């Protein structure tokens, strides 16, 4: 019996199953069978994702580097000159006017890249959210080891017999 699951969830489950190292031989057998089947579907999904035009990839990298330079110059710094982080990738901007102006100018300079990146991103989000009928090899809950993480358990959930 097939299960309706999104293309993105297939990608996620494929990645997560590769992190499972525990359990009985029988459990691992079902994981490997499902993983082999999922890898084929995952490759089809991956090949169907829209890619940014190769000519624009360098421009995207330039944009990202210049944005980082602007951030570095506008971010609040402590006494030793290092950037003050609120958390990962979250900073306090010391000169808001300079930041706003320079980012606006940068976005204008690279708007062709931003436009294409938006198209690619939106297309891929839409594609990854589309449902896909997938038939998992099912196994009983008793085979599932107790030491799986919540993410691993969530990934194998559609494979467990009700």
Contact 7, 130 (CB under 8 A): yes
Do residues 15 and 39 both lie within one domain? yes
Q: Which domain covers residue 9, as residue numbers?
A: 3-49+130-159
- Residue-wise pLDDT for 61-87, tens only, equals 999 999 989 988 888 888 888 887 777
- pTM beyond cutoff 0.85: no
Do residues 118 and 142 both lie within one domain? no
Do residues 142 and 83 both lie within one domain? no
Domains of the chain: total: 2
- Residue-wise pLDDT for 33-65, tens only, equals 999 999 999 999 999 999 888 888 889 899 999
Do residues 141 and 109 both lie within one domain? no
Q: Distance between CA atoms of 99 and 37, rounded to whole angstroms? A: 49
Do residues 60 and 73 both lie within one domain? yes
Do residues 135 and 119 both lie within one domain? no
Do residues 13 and 40 both lie within one domain? yes
Contact 140, 161 (CB under 8 A): yes
Do residues 24 and 13 both lie within one domain? yes
């Amino acid at each position: 019996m097939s299960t309706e699951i999104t293309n993105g969830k297939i990608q996620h489950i494929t990645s997560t199953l590769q992190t499972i190292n525990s359990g009985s031989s029988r459990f691992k057998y079902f994981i490997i069978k499902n993983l082999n089947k999922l890898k084929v579907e995952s490759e089809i999904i991956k090949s169907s994702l829209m890619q940014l035009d190769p000519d624009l990839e360098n421009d995207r990298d330039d944009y990202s580097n210049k944005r980082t330079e602007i951030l570095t110059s506008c971010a609040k710094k402590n006494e030793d000159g290092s950037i003050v982080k609120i958390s990962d990738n979250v900073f306090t901007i010391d000169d808001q006017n300079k930041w706003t102006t320079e980012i606006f100018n940068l976005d204008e300079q690279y708007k062709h890249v931003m436009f294409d990146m938006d198209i690619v991103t939106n297309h891929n989000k839409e594609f990854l959210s589309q449902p896909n009928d997938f038939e998992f090899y099912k196994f009983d809950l008793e085979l599932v080891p107790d030491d799986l993480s919540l993410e691993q358990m969530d990934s194998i959930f559609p494979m467990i017999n009700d």
